[in-house]
């Protein structure tokens, strides 16, 4: 037999635990060469003779393979098997032999990030791109409930094509060494890790094992529970060293001193970076886990920083556009009021309006002057900053022109409202209302500010909403008559308020009256008619009158498709409503593309950080849930919660709504411990927001009781059901307790 035909050496059962040699085979994997080695095992280059591809073979030495080590190794294999992401090292197989266990991993050609930095091969732009890719990979892992526990430069590979690969998921389980210096027993990295990089182990008071001391969170160093927020602390340290070249702690500290600093989050300050990046890193290094940005929020802020030069080029153009928009809005308001009151006001009133317009124009010119390069002294100012500065100048100036002052406050407050900045809009509109109450003959101007303030208070779920809208309606009916379109607009807002509170018997006749006014005054094909048809259809949906709801939705959609451009937000509202109707009848495959199209329109119109995006994301998650696409559903639920908390605060009912949907998702998958904490928090929020006996409280209580009964806690379940009362179960539009956003949250023009 020719030498080429001789069989390769093979590790057979009963073989010793020595390290395999080049040419030997582990199953169908032939060892090519040793890549890296440590005290716990080694990583080899291998060749898969069955599939004819190069792989990396990660091994734990047989004499180290006790039950705990095997469990850690198997945990890494299972973690990697759940992560299908281009930025995470892929697993191909898991092999068990008497000589040791082996992970068959993706073979990555390149170098680790520590080596690349030491070689000086990365410019600032490349480092920022790498940071974004790592954040994206962490977000993918966290959405699956997987925590890395040992994020550091040496565990990030750069491929020959410049892509990023995150290594070593789930293996490190203890407090480790300072920097990369081994303490205790080192363990080598996974596929692609360079020889010499090691993660040491030191036991905590709880006897658990985590990663590298200089790269871990305070709670890890204290031996406490590790969460995704722990990874984000490590990501902050990672960013600091990646972007500045300096680590988060002093170099060469003795291990015991380093451990003290880690436990207290006593890091070095971030130097030499732009303020936005410095702020991000310091937030990630917060001692309290709950205030650290999540992975996708960190990714968003990194991208924002990367795109800053482009924004500078657009800043003046954008500022000019927004100020012209404000000025146009003011002019429109003045013109409209003059036309409306022409029969009631004398020539002197028109002259006063002209003077006010001149004052407003002069005032806006003063604000706009700060964007002049000579005034800005080389700096830039964004449209958002310009509006904020304008609001501040209004408060400080125009003391002798209360009408102009109120009009500008109302205009900027309305813009903030449309941007979803309700906390900023409300004080501006409250001041506008207060001024206009003192002005003689304010009339319709006061009604407009009352309506605008009522809509903002509705979004914040404030008790004064109904009174504000009722007062605006009374003024408009007296001044304009009961059939004016402005009356219909306020009726529509009032109907939304009642619908949001579940008072359908009040909402329906109000929408019917608004529809009648708009059809008579504006014609059957006007977009405002479609707006009311859409809201009336949502009432029908909640009443389970699905056939009538479908007919009304399709009438609204036909009007909007004829009258509006294809990316108009009002069109998205009807698409989302049709999607919810389909979901209420479990037609998830039909609903999914409608949700996706609506979300695309709203993200383009409103940006990614808007209250509406959180509502649509929750409904999209429920659709994924119905289709059995659990990974996408959980990620979307979590994104909606984060977005609502960011925009509305942690105590808003819409936060409870999203928490409840995720809790039901976990309960249905028997992830009871995760579900219970969400139920508790949702119930507390809703009990603070809604009156006793409200169905908005009863629904979450009943859902929570189902979990208690499923876990054998019958007595607690019965107690919760008594608190919930005997009210009928809520309509389930998207998932348990889902709210129809078109009715509950539609912001009207």
**pLDDT tens digits, 177-218:** 233 332 222 222 333 333 333 233 333 333 343 468 899 899
State the pLDDT at residue 138: 92
Query: Rounded to whole angstroms, what are the CA distances from 662 to 635, 656, 678?
Result: 10, 10, 8
Q: Which residue has the higher pLDDT, 649 or 204?
A: 649
DSSP three-state, residue 62? helix
Residue 205 DSSP symbol: T
- Greatest mean pLDDT among 143-147, 707-711, 743-747: 707-711
Indicate whether 280 pLDDT > 60: yes
Residues forming beta bridges with residue 10, ordered by sequence position = 25
**Dist CA 293 CA 285 (whole Å):** 10
State the pLDDT at residue 645: 87
pTM of the model as a whole: 0.42
Q: What is the pLDDT of residues 658-667, one digit of tens each?
A: 899 999 999 9
Please give the distance of CA 179 from its chain centroid, rounded to a whole number: 33
**Dist CA 251 CA 689 (whole Å):** 51
Average pLDDT over residues 433-447: 85
DSSP three-state, residue 48? strand
Whether the Cβ atoms of residue 557 and residue 574 lie closer than 8 Å to each other: yes
Please give the distance of CA 572 from its chain centroid, rounded to a whole number: 20
Q: Which residue has the higher pLDDT, 240 or 616?
A: 240
Indicate whether 405 pLDDT > 70: yes
Indicate whether 112 pLDDT > 70: yes
**Dist CA 613 CA 603 (whole Å):** 7
CA dihedral (440, 444, 445, 446) positive or negative: positive
Indicate whether 731 pLDDT > 50: no
Indicate whether 402 pLDDT > 90: no
**Closest C-alpha to 590, from 556, 560, 558, 550:** 550
When the pLDDT of each residue in the chain is averaged and rounded to a whole number, the result is: 76
Whether the Cβ atoms of residue 708 and residue 722 lie closer than 8 Å to each other: no
**Dist CA 154 CA 135 (whole Å):** 16
Give the CB-side neighbour count of residue 78, counting CA atoms within 13 A.
9
**Dist CA 280 CA 127 (whole Å):** 15
Q: C-alpha angle 77/83/86, rounded to 5°?
A: 120
State the pLDDT at residue 681: 92
Q: Which residue has the higher pLDDT, 548 or 352?
A: 548
Q: Which CATH number, 1.20.1300.10, 3.10.450.630, 1.10.510.10, 3.30.420.40, labels domain 111-308?
A: 1.10.510.10
State the pLDDT at residue 749: 33
**Dist CA 596 CA 619 (whole Å):** 10
Indicate whether 134 pLDDT > 90: yes
End-to-end CA distance of the chain: 87
Indicate whether 383 pLDDT > 60: no
Q: What is the CA radius of gyration of the chain?
A: 31
Banded model confidence at residue 583, pLDDT cuts 50, 70, 90 = confident
Residue with tokens 């990974």: 631
CATH 1.25.40.10 location in the chain: 318-563, 613-744
State the pLDDT at residue 359: 52
Instruction: Write a three-state SS string for 230-272.
Output: HHHHHHHHHHHHHHHCCCCCCCCCCHHHHHHHHHCCCCCCCCC
Whether the Cβ atoms of residue 184 and residue 201 lie closer than 8 Å to each other: yes
- Greatest mean pLDDT among 26-40, 186-200, 260-274, 313-327: 260-274
Instruction: Write a three-state SS string for 316-353.
Output: HHHHHHHHHHHHHHHHHHHHHHHHHCCCCCCHHHHHHH
Residues forming beta bridges with residue 289, ordered by sequence position = none
In the chain, the largest separation of any two C-alpha atoms, in whole Å, equals 115
CATH 1.10.510.10 location in the chain: 111-308
Indicate whether 268 pLDDT > 90: yes
Residues forming beta bridges with residue 43, ordered by sequence position = 36, 58
H-helix or E-strand spanning residue 588: helix 588-606
Can you identify the CATH homologous superfamily of domain 318-563?
Tetratricopeptide repeat domain (1.25.40.10)
**Closest C-alpha to 213, from 146, 246, 167, 261:** 261
Tokens found for residue 172: 């490190």
**Dist CA 203 CA 191 (whole Å):** 26
Tokens found for residue 748: 């009207």
State the pLDDT at residue 312: 52
H-helix or E-strand spanning residue 373: helix 373-376
State the pLDDT at residue 452: 92
Banded model confidence at residue 54, pLDDT cuts 50, 70, 90 = very high
Supply the CATH classification number for the domain 613-744: 1.25.40.10
Residue with tokens 């003779």: 49
Whether the Cβ atoms of residue 175 and residue 220 lie closer than 8 Å to each other: yes
Whether the Cβ atoms of residue 615 and residue 727 lie closer than 8 Å to each other: no
State the pLDDT at residue 199: 30
State the pLDDT at residue 26: 87
Tokens found for residue 456: 């903002």
Q: Which residue has the higher pLDDT, 347 or 512?
A: 512
Q: Please tell me the least confidently modeled range out of 169-178, 379-388, 446-455.
A: 169-178
Compute the 3-state secondary structure of the chain and give helix, strand, coil in percent, each to the nearest 5.
60, 10, 30
Indicate whether 64 pLDDT > 60: no
Average pLDDT over residues 397-408: 72
Q: Which residues have a Cβ under 8 Å from the Cβ of 375 and sit 6 or more positions away?
A: 369
Indicate whether 28 pLDDT > 80: yes
Whether the Cβ atoms of residue 386 and residue 371 lie closer than 8 Å to each other: yes
**Dist CA 416 CA 452 (whole Å):** 11
Please return the burial class of 406, using the count of CB atoms within 10 Å of its CB with bins 0-12, 13-18 and 19+.
buried
Indicate whether 366 pLDDT > 70: no
How is domain 3-106 classified at the architecture level of CATH? 2-Layer Sandwich (3.30)
Task: List the helix and strand counts (H, then E) for the chain.
Answer: 29, 11
**Dist CA 174 CA 491 (whole Å):** 62
Phi-psi region of 510 (alpha: psi -120 to 50; beta: other; left: phi over 0): alpha
Whether the Cβ atoms of residue 305 and residue 274 lie closer than 8 Å to each other: yes
């Amino acid at each position: 037999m020719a030498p080429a035909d001789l069989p390769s050496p093979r590790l057979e059962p009963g073989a010793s635990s020595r390290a395999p040699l080049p040419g030997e085979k582990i199953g169908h994997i032939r060892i090519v060469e040793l890549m890296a080695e440590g005290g716990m095992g080694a990583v080899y280059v291998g060749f898969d003779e069955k599939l004819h591809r190069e792989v990396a073979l990660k091994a734990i030495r047989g004499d180290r393979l006790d039950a705990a080590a095997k469990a850690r190794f198997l945990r890494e294999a299972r973690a990697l098997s759940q992560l299908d992401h281009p930025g995470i090292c892929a697993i191909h197989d898991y092999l068990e032999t008497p000589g040791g266990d082996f992970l068959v991993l993706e073979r990555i050609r390149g170098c680790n990030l520590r080596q690349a930095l030491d070689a000086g091969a990365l410019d600032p732009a490349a480092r920022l791109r790498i940071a974004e890719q790592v954040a994206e990979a962490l977000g993918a892992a966290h959405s699956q409930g997987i925590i890395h526990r040992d994020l550091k430069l040496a565990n990030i590979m750069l491929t020959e094509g410049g892509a990023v690969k995150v290594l070593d998921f789930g293996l490190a389980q203890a407090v480790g060494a300072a920097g990369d210096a081994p303490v205790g027993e080192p363990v080598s990295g996974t596929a692609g890790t360079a020889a010499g990089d090691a993660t040491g182990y030191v036991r905590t008071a709880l006897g658990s094992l985590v990663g590298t001391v200089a790269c871990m969170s305070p709670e890890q160093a204290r031996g406490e529970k590790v969460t995704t927020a722990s990874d984000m602390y490590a990501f902050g340290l990672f960013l600091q060293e990646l972007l500045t070249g300096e680590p988060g702690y002093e170099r060469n500290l003795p291990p015991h001193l380093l451990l003290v600093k880690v436990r207290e989050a006593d890091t070095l300050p971030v130097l030499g970076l732009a303020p936005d990046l410095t702020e991000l890193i310091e937030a990630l290094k917060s001692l309290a886990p709950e205030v650290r940005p999540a992975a996708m929020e960190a990714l968003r802020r990194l991208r924002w920083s990367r795109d800053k030069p482009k924004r500078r080029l657009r800043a003046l153009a954008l500022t000019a556009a927004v100020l012209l928009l404000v000025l146009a809005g003011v002019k429109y308001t003045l013109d409209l009021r003059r036309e409306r009151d022409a029969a009631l006001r004398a020539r002197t009133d028109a002259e006063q309006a002209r003077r006010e317009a001149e004052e407003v124009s002069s005032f806006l010119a003063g604000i706009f002057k700060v964007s002049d390069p000579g005034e800005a002294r080389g700096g830039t100012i964004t449209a958002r900053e310009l509006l904020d500065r304008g609001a501040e100048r209004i408060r400080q100036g125009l003391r002798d022109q209360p009408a102009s002052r109120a009009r500008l406050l109302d205009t900027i407050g309305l813009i903030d409202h449309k941007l979803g900045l309700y906390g900023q809009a409300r004080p501006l509109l409250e001041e506008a209302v207060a001024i206009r109450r003192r002005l003689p003959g304010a009339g319709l101007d006061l009604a407009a500010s009352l309506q605008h303030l009522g809509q903002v208070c509705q979004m914040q779920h404030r008790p004064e909403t109904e009174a504000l809208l009722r007062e605006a309606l009374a003024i408009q009916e007296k001044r304009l008559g009961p059939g004016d379109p402005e009356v219909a607009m306020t009726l529509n807002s009032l109907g939304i308020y009642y619908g949001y509170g579940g008072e359908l018997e009040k909402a329906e006749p109000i929408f019917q009256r608004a529809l009648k006014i708009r059809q008579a005054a504006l014609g059957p094909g006007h977009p405002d008619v479609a707006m009311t048809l859409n809201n009336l259809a949502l009432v029908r949906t909640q009443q389970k009158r699905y056939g009538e709801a479908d007919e009304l939705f399709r009438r609204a959609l036909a009007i909007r498709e004829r009258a509006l451009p294809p990316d108009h937000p009002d069109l998205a509202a009807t698409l989302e409503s049709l999607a919810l109707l389909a979901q209420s009848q479990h037609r998830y495959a039909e609903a999914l593309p409608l949700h996706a199209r609506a979300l695309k329109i709203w993200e383009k119109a409103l940006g990614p950080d808007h209250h509406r995006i959180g509502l649509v994301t929750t409904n999209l998650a429920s659709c994924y849930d119905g289709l059995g696409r659990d990974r996408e559903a959980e990620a979307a639920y979590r994104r909606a919660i984060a977005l609502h908390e960011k925009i509305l605060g942690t105590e808003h009912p819409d936060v409870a709504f999203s928490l409840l949907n995720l809790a039901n998702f976990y309960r249905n998958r028997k992830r009871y411990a995760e579900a219970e904490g969400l139920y508790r928090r949702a119930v507390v929020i809703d009990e603070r927001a809604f009156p006793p006996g409200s169905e908005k409280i009863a629904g979450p209580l009943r859902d929570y009781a189902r979990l208690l009964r499923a876990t054998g806690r019958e007595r607690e379940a019965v107690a919760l059901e008594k608190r919930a009362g005997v009210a009928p179960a809520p309509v389930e539009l998207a998932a348990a307790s889902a709210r129809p956003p078109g009715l509950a949250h539609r912001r009207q023009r």
